[in-house]
Structure 1
Amino acid sequence: MLMTTLAGLLASASFATACEITLRSSDTHPDGYPTVEGVKAMAEEVREKTDGRICIEVFPSSQLGEEKDTIEQTQFGVIDMVRASFGSFNDIVPVTQIMSLPYLFTSVEHSHAVLDGPIGEEIAAAFEERDLVALAWYDGGARSFYNSQRPIQSIADLEGMKFRVMQNDVFVDMMDALGANATPMPYGEVYSSIQTGVIDGAENNFPSYDSSGHAEVAKYFTLDEHLIVPELVAMSKTSWDKLTPEDQAILREAAQNSSTLQRELWAAQEQESLDKVTAAGAEVITEIDKTPFIEAMVPVYDKYVTTPENKDLVERIRATQ
């Protein structure tokens, strides 16, 4: 046992010695999660293409802190990289607030088309103004409604129902516009609150609906995809500027390749969760006309999209094919 431990320590020391540059990357999700596996794949490609000169050490499970804390640390160069949701950047990179508006994206594929094109380049430039270099856009799933009472196929079905939402003004206003009642509460209280009738349901993606056990107490899942919030891998500009242009190109290419993998892993995880909850008796409603839901968001957009620049951005996002 002692020999095995010693061998492991020597191997780790040898690996660390071989790295001329070691970049620390943070993620709140556990090892094996699609975002973590995406960055690990990026790390492997970078290591191979630099002959081991540049190593990326991935710290999952919030080992370096929660998202907002690690974003700030990345800005100041305390850590080198972070994987986080656009929602966690709302107070730092204002354009990310627009990307958090309900029904902005018509599908996950639409969000890819937007982020992988000219608009994505504009958003990346906005990150750089905040001392962050956006390297790759990742998927974080589409949030939809689920509840314990009835299938939701129209806005009328939402009337008067109580849904848990995150403590976010946009979410609260969205529910109000749909005729439902928003009930902000900690995520950990959702299961018992649905079970006891304090709320009728909540909203989230399939993997969360599955892993949280919410499918056990709220069997009606309506695939309306009202919120598709992208995620990204961002690097400290301080750390980035220390690299040669050649090494920067290697990191950027590896990050882009990792995005393709991460999206595939996320899609697979969503399908696995969908299969699991339907096998357990959940009813997934897919036949839904989203148009009335989208039209109901006019007052929400009037409140949060106020500048000519943001109005133009929303129009261009909607026009992207």
Structure 2
Amino acid sequence: MHNKPITLLLIVLTFFLSCKKESGEKVLYLAHTLPQTHPVHKGILKFQEVLAKKSGNTLKIKIFPDGQLGSEREVLELLQIGSVAITKVSAATLSNFVPEYHVLGIPYLFKNKQHQFDVLEGPVGKSILEKGSKFWLRGLCYYDAGSRSFYTSSKAIRKPEDLKGLKIRVMNNQMAINMVNAMGGSATPMAYGELYTAIQQGVVDGAENNPPSFVSSNHYEVSKYYTIDEHSAVPDVLLISTKYWEKLSEQERKWVEAAAAESSQAQKEYWRASVEASMKTAKAAGVEVIIPEKALFAEKSKSVLEDFKKDYPEMVPLINQIKAE
């Protein structure tokens, strides 16, 4: 599958083992792409711990981190065919399967962190989680993946005009591309693994990401300016394959949902601590942290929202609902 080391044998084995019973126990396989030091992985460990406790060890989670079973997209496909029970992916990746998740990537959609989680944990967020069921991808909860901001190697960004002429690496995502271009930069899609060298060699002038990623990738070594404009806040999503959801009893489903909700609250604290530690590391390494006037960046990115509304008119009521919360 896309040249990843996932053999047919492994897929067949995981199909039979993902929800296997061992002396009255059910073991659900959970795969994700993050390292075990990541605050989202810590949230998943909490999910594993709480579910085992609530179910009296009759429901257990076996975790495959570090992309052992493939990329986010590949693992989503494994959920759809029933080879893996649960995964964690970015809402940006999920939007390729469930269109409603596109909305969560709109620049400056949320007023602040409190507004974001009021929406995600309320009726609107829950309705989006359920939208994936028809694609065999039922959402359980959201995890905090922080806010993305710009970092550059040789020129500080203090206002949107400073982006002019700069090549900024973005994910291969149309909304991210449109946003950087609207602000005056030159959006440059590129694989994340190539980015350190690309900044170091001047192939790109910078990128955008959250503080834990900025530091864990060592990009702070080659980018000495970090502008906290927080232009987007795309959450991560914990999902279960509907093929496995349907195998669970009503009581087991309640345990899974309760464990997911509890892990989501704990993960926010893991994330907050990780952001604090990351910013401390970056500053100690000589990175200049800039707090700009966000309203200037929000104004420049308004065209992204208007273009999105034209392309996805059916999403306008959802956007209005979020803004009204």
TM-score (normalizing by structure 2): 0.89
1:107 matched to 2:112? The reply is yes
Equivalent in the alignment of 1:199: 204
Contact 1:36-1:58 within 8 A present in 2 as well: no
Answer yes or no: is the 8 Å Cα contact 1:18–1:52 preserved in 2.
no
CA deviation string 1:274-305 (max 9, x = no partner):
0011011111112x222222222232222222
Which residue is equivalent to 1:241? 246
* Match for residue 303 of structure 2 among 299, 307, 320: 299
Matched, 1:59 2:64: yes
Q: Secondary structure of the residue that 2:105 maps to in structure 1? A: coil
Matches within 5 A, 1:125-274: 125-274=130-279
Contact 1:38 1:261 (C-alpha < 8 Å) held by counterparts: yes
The answer on whether the counterparts of 1:19 and 1:55 sit within 8 Å (CA) in structure 2 is no
| Cα separation, partners in 2 of 1:19 and 1:147, compared to 1, 3 Å | farther
Q: Deviations over 1:1-42 (max 9, x none)?
A: xxxxxxxxxxxxxxx845521111111112232222222221
Q: Structure 1: any 5+ residue segments left out of the alignment? A: 1-15
Deviations 1:84-108 (A, max 9, x none): 1111111210001111122222333
Q: Which residue of 1 aligns with 2:12?
A: none
Q: 2:49 aligns with which of 44, 48, 53?
A: 44
TM-score, normalising length: structure 1: 0.90
Q: Distance in 1 between the 2:99 and 2:146 partners?
A: 21
User: How many angstroms does 1:110 deviate by?
Assistant: 2.3
4+ aligned runs moved over 4 Å, structure 1: none
Number of positions where the alignment pairs a residue of Structure 1 with one of Structure 2: 304
1:311 to 291, 316, 320: 316
1:136-168 deviations in Å (ceiling 9; x for gaps):
110112110011233322112222222111222
Instruction: Check whether the contact 1:100–1:228 (CA below 8 A) recurs between aligned residues.
Output: yes
CA deviation after TM superposition for structure 1 residue 191, in Å: 2.3
More off after superposition, 213-222 vs 34-43: 34-43
Between the aligned partners of 1:300 and 1:208, the Cα distance in structure 2 is 25
Other structure's SS at 2:75 match:
helix
- Residue 273 of structure 1: CA displacement? 0.6
Confirm whether residue 290 of structure 1 aligns to residue 309 of structure 2. no
CA RMSD of aligned residues (A): 1.6
User: 2:278 aligns to what SS in structure 1?
Assistant: helix
**Aligned equivalents of 2:22 and 2:176: distance in 1?**
48
The range that moved more, 196-205 or 303-312, is 303-312
Say whether the 8 Å CA contact 1:145–1:201 is kept in structure 2. yes
Name the amino acid aligned to 2:167.
Answer: K
1:32–1:161 CA distance, 2 compared to 1 (3 A): closer
Secondary structure class of the residue paired with 2:303? helix
Letter in 2 for 1:291: A
2:33 maps to which of 20, 28, 31: 28
What is the CA distance between 1:237 and its match in structure 2?
1.0
Write the letter of the residue equivalent to 2:296: P
Q: Give the conservation status (yes or no) of the 8 Å contact 2:28–2:59.
A: yes
CA drift of 1:177 comes to 0.8
Confirm or deny: 8 A CA contact 2:131 2:138 kept in the other structure.
Answer: no
Post-superposition shift, 1:236?
Answer: 1.0
Aligned to 2:129: 124
SS at match of 1:167: coil
CA drift of 1:76 comes to 2.2
Counterpart CA distance in 1 for 2:48 and 2:203 is 45
Matched residue SS, 1:28: coil
- C-alpha distance in 2 between matches for 1:305 and 1:209: 31
Which residue in the other structure is 1:11 paired with? none
* Structure 2 counterpart of 1:13: none
Distance in 2, Cα, partners of 1:257 & 1:50: 14
Q: Does 1:77 find its partner at 2:102?
A: no
Corresponding residue number in structure 1 for 2:15 = none
Residue 284 of structure 1 aligns to a residue in which SS? strand
Query: Distance between the aligned counterparts of 1:79 and 1:179, measured in 2?
Result: 42
Tell which structure's C-alpha radius of gyration is larger. 1
- Percent of paired sites with the same residue: 38
1:59-114 deviation line (CA, Å, top 9, x unaligned): 11112221111111112221110111111111210001111122222333322111
Q: C-alpha offsets along residues 241-274 of structure 1, whole Å, 9 cap, x if unaligned?
A: 1111111111100110000111111111111110
